[in-house]
């Protein structure tokens, strides 16, 4: 089962050896000159050999080699008068032909050469009889034919076996693909209900409940986190096992990544009487270039293991940076050391340490949760990034894991590694929203009503009352109509009929600056690596993994919400409105300006302008400048009912266009009264229209034409 080019090379080498032996024989018996002429037979085969690197059709190459070598052998034997040796040379070449594993070519070769040997026996009998008896030559031909049949049978058997192996390999590939698809679906199906469980548990933490209830909620959260950790490890190991796990390198801040890791680990240490020691370098570059997500995963795996197997004492995280001056560009080695004072590992168990699903001392550590994949994954990840991992441990004393990972440098200027500890970030060890955004307009798109409720309730922690949509099509319609200018759209990834990626792609294709730029954040329960890139390539701005955690949500909101809509935690909606009231009308964003208009249905007005907010504002300016009150009053005083009805009709049409629907209804009733000559109705309702219409005009003039 050698590669084709390798087989061709072996064929030529074997052919060369056979010919050189014959040339040496001719040289010793017939002289140098005859040996030179004999060696010229090598030329055709070498030409074919060189051409084989240009020709991409194996069948053509093999036949060219076969017939050129056959011609060379015949030429050498006739030139040196050694026809009786030809049968042995052809037999040696037949063995070489078997290497190509093509039963038809092998059969063709032995058929052609057998005919050739028979013809030589008939027409060159006088030459052959000088060296051997003809009955002996006939035996040679019979043995040659038998060898040919055997070679064809062997080639056929090997070819059949190869085909069976290829079919099995194809089945294995299909099974592997099915496994990957199953894991992707499993990830989504498990994470979707887990999102609801975890999200509701987070919301219950903020309720006024008893101590017992709070303990139950804490158990639910911890169990959810453990289950999700197990799911992630199985998915990652599956990716490593199938060779599909990708290392995606990009610039990153090690300090920011480490801050996240430290916060998570200190969360997990809350219930243990352990001290967490950080030992940081002062020469670490400000920004490195590598796969920060995978380095973060290695850190979490090692630190989580240390916390699991340490019941007293400390866990120490030590970071070091070694410059590598052997490259022209700045690079170095990131050294991570995690030491603990835990149970340690015995010598006999060290061999199992990096084995998949292998937990040491399983009987002793039965109460420790986990799949046993963490260290196997960490080893594979570090090696894929060109690094290594090693361990030193003593049973009953503790363990130390050291990881070395080569990293490129994006910004060589050292960054102060000031890591905030948990007690300084979250009093009592729980996340608290540090800002509110009560005026933010956020759309949540999810086909699962429970997930919609969870996400909406989580947003309420930030003072946000979200808008909800239950499908991608509904989200597309809302964005296209542009009745509301959303600050962020949270889009579920896996939805029936149209998934979040496709919905986002269609939104980005709309002929609207708003649709092309509105932040769309994916809510994904699919933990398979590579999905993030797929989501971002579809036009999404960011993503959050389910189950949604409050701290993640806060980071995304702060990143994408306009800074003008973010206020310190504890700020009430009344205080926000008082602050906004101090902002001049002409300084407000268009959407904020429209939200302050009273007596006007701005959504209808924007819809009448085909979703063009700026066009709607221009329409409002025109409406404010076209005052028909004086004209209406003039016809009222003159009791000119016909022209009064025409003017009321104009007010009705203009008011409907801008969304002043109460004014439009009153004007329409007066228009109809004028048409039927009902002056009594006009006398009774004229002042109502003047008051409604006048107040709208006054409000708009104060906004668009102040001081006039």
Distance CA(656)–CA(15), nearest Å, equals 95
* Burial degree of 75 (CB within 10 A; 0-12, 13-18, 19+): middle
- Indicate the pTM of the whole model: 0.41
Distance spanning both ends of the chain, measured CA to CA:
92
Distance CA(541)–CA(560), nearest Å, equals 9
Tokens read off for 232: 């992630």
Selected residue with higher pLDDT from 53 and 62: 62
**For residue range 323-343, what is the model confidence (pLDDT) as tens digits?**
988 888 889 999 999 999 988
Distance CA(341)–CA(393), nearest Å, equals 10
> What's residue 364's pLDDT?
44
639 pLDDT band, cuts 50/70/90, is confident
CA atoms within 13 Å, Cβ hemisphere of 111? 7
> What's residue 235's pLDDT?
61
Exposure string of 190-226, with b = 16+ CB inside 10 Å and e = fewer, is bbbebbbbbbbbbbbbeeeeeeeeeeebbebbbebbe
Selected residue with higher pLDDT from 253 and 581: 253
The label of the residue with tokens 């050391």 reads: 337
Distance CA(478)–CA(485), nearest Å, equals 9
Distance CA(675)–CA(645), nearest Å, equals 7
**For residue range 423-456, what is the model confidence (pLDDT) as tens digits?**
544 444 455 678 888 888 899 998 877 678 778 8
Res 240 pLDDT > 80: no
Res 354 pLDDT > 60: yes
557 pLDDT band, cuts 50/70/90, is very high
Distance of CA 690 to the CA centre of its chain: 61
> What's residue 248's pLDDT?
80
How far apart, in Å, are the Cα atoms of 154 and each of 7, 35, 107, 150, 159? 17, 37, 11, 6, 8
How far apart, in Å, are the Cα atoms of 488 and each of 521, 535, 612? 7, 16, 19
Query: What letter does residue 527 receive in the DSSP assignment?
Result: -
Whether a cis peptide bond, with omega within 30° of 0, leads into 298 is no
Q: What is the mean pLDDT of the chain?
A: 78
> What's residue 427's pLDDT?
42
313-324 and 274-279 as β-strands: parallel, antiparallel, unpaired? parallel
Q: Is 403 helix (H, G, I), strand (E, B) or coil?
A: strand
Distance CA(241)–CA(231), nearest Å, equals 15
Res 265 pLDDT > 90: no
Q: 484 near 467, Cβ under 8 Å?
A: yes
**Domains annotated on the chain, with CATH:** 4-132 (no CATH), 246-427 (3.30.565.10), 435-568 (3.40.50.2300), 605-610+613-704 (1.20.120)
Q: Is 494 left (phi over 0), alpha (psi -120 to 50) or beta?
A: beta
Distance CA(74)–CA(15), nearest Å, equals 13
Q: 126 near 134, Cβ under 8 Å?
A: no
**For residue range 486-501, what is the model confidence (pLDDT) as tens digits?**
899 999 887 778 888 8
* Mean pLDDT of the 539-546 span: 84
Query: What letter does residue 420 receive in the DSSP assignment?
Result: P
């Amino acid at each position: 089962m050698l590669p084709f080019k390798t087989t061709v090379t072996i064929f030529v080498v074997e052919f060369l050896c056979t010919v050189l032996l014959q040339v040496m024989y001719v040289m010793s018996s017939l002289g140098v000159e005859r040996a030179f002429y004999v060696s010229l037979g090598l030329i055709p085969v070498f030409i074919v050999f060189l051409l084989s690197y240009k020709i991409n059709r194996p069948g053509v190459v093999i036949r060219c080699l076969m017939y050129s070598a056959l011609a060379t052998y015949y030429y050498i034997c006739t030139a040196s008068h050694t026809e009786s040796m030809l049968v042995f040379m052809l037999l040696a070449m037949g063995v070489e032909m078997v290497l190509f594993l093509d039963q038809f070519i092998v059969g063709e070769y032995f058929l052609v050469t057998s005919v050739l040997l028979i013809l030589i026996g008939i027409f060159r009998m006088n030459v052959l009889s000088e060296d051997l008896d003809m009955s002996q030559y006939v035996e040679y031909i019979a043995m040659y034919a038998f060898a040919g049949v055997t070679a064809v049978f062997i080639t056929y058997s090997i070819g059949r076996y190869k085909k069976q192996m290829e079919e099995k390999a194809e089945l294995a590939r299909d099974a592997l693909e099915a496994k990957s698809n199953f894991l992707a679906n499993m990830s989504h199906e498990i994470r979707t209900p887990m999102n609801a469980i975890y999200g509701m548990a987070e919301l219950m933490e903020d309720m006024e409940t008893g101590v017992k209830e709070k303990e139950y909620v804490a158990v639910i959260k911890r169990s959810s986190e453990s289950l999700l950790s197990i799911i992630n490890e199985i998915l990652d190991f599956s990716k490593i096992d199938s060779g599909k796990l990708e290392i995606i390198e990009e610039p990153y801040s090690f300090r920011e990544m480490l801050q996240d890791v430290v916060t998570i680990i200190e969360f997990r240490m809350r219930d243990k009487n352990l001290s967490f020691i950080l030992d940081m370098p002062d020469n670490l570059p400000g920004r490195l270039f590598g796969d920060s997500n995978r380095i973060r995963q290695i850190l979490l795996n090692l630190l989580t293991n240390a916390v699991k197997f340490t019941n007293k004492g400390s866990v120490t995280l030590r970071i070091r940076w070694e410059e590598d001056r052997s490259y022209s560009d700045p690079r170095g080695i990131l050294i991570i050391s995690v030491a603990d004072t835990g149970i340690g590992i015995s010598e006999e168990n060290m061999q199992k340490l990096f084995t998949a699903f292998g937990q040491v001392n399983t009987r002793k550590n039965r109460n420790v949760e986990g799949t046993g994949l963490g260290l196997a994954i960490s080893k594979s990840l570090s090696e894929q990034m060109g690094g290594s991992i090693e361990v030193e441990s003593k049973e009953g004393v503790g363990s130390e894991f050291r990881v070395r990972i080569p990293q490129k440098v994006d910004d060589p200027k050292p960054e102060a590694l000031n890591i905030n500890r948990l007690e300084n970030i979250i009093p009592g060890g729980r996340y608290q929203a540090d800002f509110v955004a009560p005026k933010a307009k956020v759309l949540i798109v999810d086909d699962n009503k429970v997930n919609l409720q969870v996400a909406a309730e989580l947003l309420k922690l930030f003072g946000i009352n979200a808008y909800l949509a239950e499908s991608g099509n509904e989200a597309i319609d809302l964005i296209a109509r542009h009745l509301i200018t959303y600050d962020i759209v949270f889009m579920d990834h896996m939805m029936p009929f149209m998934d979040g990626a496709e919905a986002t792609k269609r939104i980005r294709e709309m002929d609207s600056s708003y649709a092309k730029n509105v932040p769309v954040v994916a809510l994904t329960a699919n933990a398979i690596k590579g999905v993030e890139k797929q989501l971002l390539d579809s036009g999404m701005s960011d993503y959050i993994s389910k189950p949604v955690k409050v701290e993640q949500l806060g980071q995304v909101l702060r990143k994408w919400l306009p800074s003008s809509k973010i206020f310190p935690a504890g700020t009430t909606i009344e205080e926000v409105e008082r602050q906004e009231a101090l902002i001049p009308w002409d300084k407000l964003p268009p959407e904020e300006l429209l939200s302050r208009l009273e007596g006007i249905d701005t959504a209808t007005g924007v819809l009448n302008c085909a979703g063009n907010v700026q066009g709607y504002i221009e329409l409002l300016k025109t409406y404010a400048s076209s005052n028909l009150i004086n004209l209406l009053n003039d016809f009222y005083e003159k009791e000119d009912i016909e022209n009064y009805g025409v003017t009321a009709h104009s007010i009705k049409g203009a008011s409907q266009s801008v969304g002043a629907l109460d004014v439009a209804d009153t004007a329409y009733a007066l228009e109809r009264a004028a048409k039927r000559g009902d002056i009594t109705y006009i006398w009774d309702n004229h002042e109502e229209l003047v008051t409604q219409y006048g107040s709208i005009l006054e409000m708009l003039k104060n906004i668009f034409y102040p001081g006039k």
